[in-house]
Structure 1
Amino acid sequence: MSKGTIKNHKADIKDIKMHYTVAGEGPAIVLIHGWPHTNYGWRKVQAKLAENYTVIAPDIRGAGYTSRPETGYDGDNIADDIRTLVKDHLGFDKVVVVGHDWGSVWAYHYAAQFRDEVVGLGNFEMMIPGTGGHEAGMQPKPDGKFFWHMNWHSVPTYPEELIRGNERKYLDYYYTEFSYNPYSVTIEALNEYERAFTQFGSLRSGLEIYKKFWEHAAQAEKHMQTKLEMPVIAWGGAALMNDWCVESMQHVATDVSGGGIPECGHWVAEEQPDFVANEIRKLAEKAFG
């Protein structure tokens, strides 16, 4: 069996049954997805890194094929879910943790809470709540280019009621509007995200993350009182967040590098998987020595 073969597993983690995939062998790299994504979004990168590393990609609480409880969607708790999987269940004491979108937030909360375990941190296409970037981006702009969905998703009840029954149209909007090359997210991938997104409780769970935005921010503000010292990479798609990710991470860490990914929008692991895998590989080589 090839090292790049991705295997599916489930484990009882705290109050949830967590679905996760593993490929490869060696030191551990953890890949954390965002929303409305699942760990399937990391499949191309996971396979590319598996030659030299054990690459773990969980479905977070409430997403994909992990159970969907009504509570527990703050940053510190989601990060602790993943750490419980990686350390207590799989037995890895030292890890490189990488996130995309909201996954970058939980990767930061993981690193901030368990600094002696996380030896490298990666952020792709996200500004950390509490550092000011998203807070500014949520304010209406005359040209209409602002993160309106961050506000709307946090409104009680109505988003879920309006999206239900229109999930595919909603997903199509995000995967085309926020990509540089809309064909990079394949029909097969969209079908998988729709299948996961329409499961009972999945939409409610995802929107709960946005309702916890300010709790995420408050937790991060406490963590960032002491900056991270492990190596950190931060990359945004040049067509979307670009250098904003680096600027956000400089608020929370001392050793930050990165920039903008050419010809790329938000869905970096699907739009530019070779670039993303290469940057994570370089981070891991530096972090593990």
Structure 2
Amino acid sequence: MNGADRLPGPGTSSAESAFLTEFQGFDVDVDGVRIHGRVGGSGPPVLLLHGFPQTHLAWRYVAPRLARDHTVVAADLRGYGDSGKPPAGPDHSAYGKRAMAADQVGLMARLGFDRFAAVGHDRGARVVHRMALDHPHAVERAAVLDIVPTRHVYATVDRALGEAYFHWFFLTQPAGLPETLIGGAPEFFLHRLLGGGLATTAGPSSAWAEYARCFRTPEAIAAMCEDYRAAATIDLEHDGADAAAGQRITCPLLVLWGKQGFVGRTYDPLAVWHEYAHNRHGTAVDAGHFLPEENPDETVVALAEFLG
């Protein structure tokens, strides 16, 4: 990767620079889509992917500690943060997890890492799931935080899930409806999504202002809706094809979930993931949904042990 790619790009804000101060910002073009993030540390490479409706700063407590023994890459998914937000296309495939996973594998290759560990939370974990299936040559080991597979979620929908995951069904509505409604009060909607488990006020350790900056634009709102539309359409097609072919994750898989979160209260995560991965293990973390921010200590310990 050339040096110019690793300079802070046009999307890097002064507020973002207050976090992960020992990390270097980058904006890398991967097949026409800009991927933004930060890289730091030294040692075996680890890719960290955030969830909805956040950015790579979701890892601000975890990344520096992992960077003591690893080269840590924390990246914004396409459609999120300061990464590119391409048109979705009629089948939503531009925001399918296959496309999002390919972005990140391409990013790591540009950074000089053809094989790496991948860790994802929430939407990022769904990208890691797809990445481990599509790119087994690249993903040495994988960790998924506070999810069960998308296919299992849709196959077991009930009233409790509909209420807890209301945005899964709201954001998939035809283009224009959720975008217009969210655009009328974006920070109110963001607060509703984050306020249950995170501090959403300004402060020295709060990323709220950055999350709000990146969330409130029409382009970001539309892209995030497309992420969920893809999950309910093209992603399910890909997942169904894998299930029919008997394809499962072959690399070691770490499954972490929050004891107080919906996943921990509703599912037996290890039992569910047994149907999707050959070699999985994991444990609950004393947290709600946002493990890397609510309980970074337990999260780091579990990840460090798994990563070696």
TM-score where L is the length of structure 2: 0.84
Change (3 A) 1:249 1:186: farther
User: What is the CA RMSD across the aligned residues, in angstroms?
Assistant: 1.9
State how 1:111-122 maps to structure 2 within 5 Å.
111-122=132-143
Is 1:170 matched up with 2:189?
A: yes
Shift of 1:136: 1.9
Pairing 1:126–2:150 present: no
Farther-moved stretch of structure 1 (222-231 vs 168-177): 222-231
The letter for the 1-side match of 2:169 is N
The 3 A distance-change label for structure 1 pair 160 and 244 is farther
1:76 equivalent in structure 2: 98
How many correspondences in the alignment?
274
Q: Which amino acid aligns with 1:276?
A: T
Please report how far the alpha carbon of residue 38 of structure 1 lies from its aligned counterpart in structure 2 after TM superposition.
Answer: 0.7
Task: Report the equivalent of 1:208.
Answer: 226
Q: Per-residue displacement from partner, 1:249-277 (whole Å, max 9, x unpaired)?
A: 22211111113212x11111110111111
Q: Secondary structure at the match of 1:265?
A: coil
Distance 1:35 1:53 in 2: 25
Given candidates 271, 282, 306, the residue that maps to 1:258 is 282
**Deviation at 1:116?**
2.1
Superposition deviation, residue 59 in structure 1: 0.8
In the TM superposition, what whole-angstrom CA distance separates every residue of 1:173-195 from its partner, at most 9, and x where no partner exists?
11123x2xx43x65331111000
Cα pair distance change 1:186/1:273, threshold 3 Å: farther
Q: 1:133 corresponds to which letter in structure 2? A: V
Cα 1:174–1:12 change in 2 (3 A) is same
Shift of 1:127: 1.8
In structure 2, C-alpha distance between the alignment counterparts of 1:80 and 1:9, rounded to whole Å:
18
Give distance in 2, aligned partners of 1:270 and 1:136: 28
Change (3 A) 1:201 1:229: same
C-alpha distance in 2 between matches for 1:191 and 1:209: 22
- The 5 Å alignment of 1:122-161 reads 122-130=143-151, 132-137=152-157, 139-141=158-160, 145-156=163-174, 157-161=176-180
- 1:271 matches 2:263: no
Identity %, equivalent residues:
24
Partner of 1:41: 58
1:194, 1:67 → 2: CA distance?
17
Q: Following TM superposition, by how much is the alpha carbon of 1:133 offset from its aligned partner in structure 2, in angstroms?
A: 2.7
For 1:248, the aligned partner's letter is V
Q: Secondary structure of the equivalent of 1:82? A: helix
Give the 5 Å matches for 1:222-241: 222-224=241-243, 225-240=246-261, 241=263
Instruction: Give the AA of the match of 2:187.
Output: R
Structure 1 runs (4+) deviating above 6 angstroms are none
| Aligned-pair CA distance for 1:4 | 7.5
1:188-228 Cα distance to aligned partner (Å, 9 max, x none) = 31111000001340000001011111321221233352222
1:4–1:48 CA contact under 8 A, matched in 2? no
Q: Deviations over 1:22-76 (max 9, x none)?
A: 0101111001111101111111111110011011111111110111111210111
Aligned to 1:109: 130
Contact 1:232 1:257 in 2 (8 A): yes
Which whole-Å CA distance do the structure 2 matches of 1:18 and 1:27 have between them?
21
- List gaps (5 residues or longer) in structure 1: none
Alpha carbons 1:11, 1:17 under 8 Å: kept: yes
